[in-house]
Structure 1
Amino acid sequence: MQPYNKNLKKPSRDLRNNMTDAEKSLWSKLRAKQILGLQFYRQKPLLNFIVDFYCPAANLVIECDGGQHFTDEGLEADRVRDEILVELGLVVLRFSNRQVLTEIDDVIELIFQTAQSRIP
């Protein structure tokens, strides 16, 4: 189990209850072990972050990025965050909300391929 900040439990629960349309769309494809029988978690605390989706068996993090992620500050924060997560042995896949909403099949295919390459 990856370490996490226990103070993030309530905020992660709040995020699960208020998912974006892109997150809801992606969750409908990830939940119930639909990809390779793998368990995914949504709005999962890892270290001092809350990641959108996490698959522990594949050490895979998936992020749905809204507009705030494409500012200079957002891009830098994501770069630092991803670097820290990679140091834990995780792979981070990032998709824009638009990608998830308009190209869901391509997004799922990339998730499938990445997960498949990371499981024993």
Structure 2
Amino acid sequence: MAIIARARAMRKALTPPEARMWVQLKLLRAQGFHFRRQAPFRGYYLDFVCFNRRLVIEIDGVTHAIEARANRDRVRDAVLAGEGFTTLRFDNAAVRDDLDGVMAGVMSALEALPTRSLRDHPPHEGEGES
């Protein structure tokens, strides 16, 4: 239960760039792309994930440029890649200053990735808020 509680708390405390990105990703539902935010997966909390396309989107603040954090991000991305996920990373400035470009990159990735079956998705435990 602690994992679900933490994910819920993280969903309520999105950074301004994450909140801005979430608004855009929710609009993609009309096109059949369903994203979850702050979804727990294999010991990580994924900023945004579309399970049926195995696409993870991470919005990185300035701390991700620090070498130790960048190394952890590389390990995390490798673990996710081993599970069949593609990870896109955007920094806060890109979301703030070029949201159209960020979303074009997201759409390009979504269109290039194959659709997975529903049984490949983990359950939506604890994600009831929009």
TM-score normalized by structure 1?
Answer: 0.90
- Tell me which residue corresponds to 1:103: 98
1:17 maps to which of 12, 35, 52: 12
Aligned residues: 115
- Tell me which residue corresponds to 2:69: 74
| Deviation of the 1:52 alpha carbon | 0.2
| Secondary structure class of the residue paired with 2:90 | strand
Cα distance in 1 between the residues matched to 2:27 and 2:94: 22
Structure 1: segments with no counterpart, 5+ residues: 1-5
CA contact (8 A) 1:35 1:112 kept: no
| Deviation of the 1:88 alpha carbon | 0.1
Aligned 1:40-59 pairs, distance under 5 A: 40-59=35-54
Q: Which one-letter code corresponds to 1:40 in the other structure?
A: F
TM-score normalized by structure 2?
Answer: 0.84
- Tell me which residue corresponds to 2:87: 92
Cα distance in 2 between the residues matched to 1:93 and 1:35: 21
Q: Which one-letter code corresponds to 2:16 in the other structure?
A: D
Aligned Cα RMSD in Å? 1.4
CA contact (8 A) 1:32 1:39 kept: no
Structure 2: segments with no counterpart, 5+ residues: 116-130
Per-residue CA distance 1:8-39 (angstroms, 9 max, x = gap): 21111111000000001100100153473210
Runs (4+) of structure 1 exceeding 2 A deviation are 32-36
Moved more, 84-93 or 65-74: 65-74
Cα distance in 2 between the residues matched to 1:112 and 1:75: 25
Percent of residue pairs identical: 30
Distance 1:28-1:58 versus aligned 2 partners, 3 A rule: same
